[in-house]
Amino acid sequence: MKGKDWYVISAPKMFSETQIVETPAIDPKMLIGRTIESNVSELMGQPDKYYMTLKFKITSVDDNRAFTQFHGYSCAKEHLFRIIRKRSQKVRDVRDVETRDGWKLQVVSLVILNRNTDIEIRRKVRKIMGSGIEECAKNAGIDSFIRSITSGILQKEIRKLGNKIYPVRFSEIESIEVKKTGGTDSSAGQIEKAETDSKGAG
């Protein structure tokens, strides 16, 4: 029987094709379509992002290197439980969005309001946060959109929008499911520049 070879699985270009893990396989074709998960804290060297997990799907293999594309995102339930306190109000939105480069995603977002509120306020908050996510996706490629979440930029924007209706204590993206893949994004550097500028301003 043919022996197994080891293959390096790399993150997508949005994460500089960083090595995630090595895996053995008899035939490289067997790797295509396999999904793996990676913690953002390890992938980006940011311990404070321990609660963020990214899912990638292997799309191609070249020599002993396997390449991936984005396949999903999730936020640890333990993290969400910690931010929800008594007498605060949870507002959750589930929305299908499409990025500039044709990716169709289901995004689940969450905001925590400072106090219990009536139905009408919750409805208005849900509408404005959902519209903000739709707008962000529409104006960004998949790379920029995902980086805006791992950097926390989108969460800050949702909080800012929600505050127009009622004081928001916390905002988070719970999960992202890929409904349809699209093209590739060449504007991820814009997000990186925004992060750098933001840190410099602070």
Per-residue pLDDT tens for 123-175? 999 999 999 999 999 999 999 999 999 999 999 999 999 999 999 999 999 99
Domain boundary among 16, 49, 75: 75
What's the pLDDT at 1?
Answer: 38
Alpha helices per DSSP H over the chain: 40-44, 77-83, 119-138, 142-150, 153-162, 188-201
Question: 4-16: string of b/e by CB count within 10 Å (b at 16+)?
Answer: eeebebbbbebbe
User: Is 47 inside a domain boundary?
Assistant: yes
139 and 58 inside one domain: no
Residues 92 and 180 in one domain: yes
- Asked whether residue 191 carries a pLDDT value surpassing 70, the answer given is no
Whole-number pLDDT of residue 8: 95
Is the pLDDT assigned to residue 199 strictly greater than 60?
no
Average pLDDT of span 75-89: 84
Q: Which residue has tokens 């959902």?
A: 130
Of the three residues 75, 102, 133, the one that is the final residue of a domain is 75
Burial category of 113 from C-beta neighbours within 10 Å (exposed 0-12, middle 13-18, buried 19 and up): buried
Q: Do residues 123 and 186 both lie within one domain?
A: yes
Answer whether residue 93 shows pLDDT above 60.
Answer: yes
- Same domain? For 109 and 145 the reply is yes
Q: Is residue 67 part of a domain?
A: yes
> Looking at the structure, do residues 43 and 96 belong to the same domain, yes or no?
no
What residue numbers bound the domain in which 184 lies? 77-201
pLDDT confidence bin for 45, thresholds 50/70/90: confident
With contact defined as beta carbons under 8 Å apart, do 138 and 100 qualify?
yes
pTM comes to 0.84
Q: How far apart are CA 150 and CA 16, in angstroms?
A: 14
Whether 47 and 110 map to the same domain: the answer is: no
pLDDT of residue 3: 63
Is 2 contained in some domain?
no
What's the CATH number where 130 sits? Answer: 3.30.479.30
Percentage, residues of the chain above pLDDT 70: 89
Q: Please check whether residues 94 and 137 belong to one and the same domain.
A: yes
What is the average pLDDT value for the chain, to the nearest integer?
Answer: 88
Give the confidence band of 81 by pLDDT, cuts at 50, 70, 90. confident
Q: Indicate if 132 and 193 belong to the same structural domain.
A: yes
- Please state the rounded mean pLDDT for residues 106-114: 95
Looking at the 3D structure of the chain, how many domains does it have? 2
Judge whether residue 189 has pLDDT over 80: no
pLDDT in tens, 2-23: 568 999 999 999 899 999 999 9
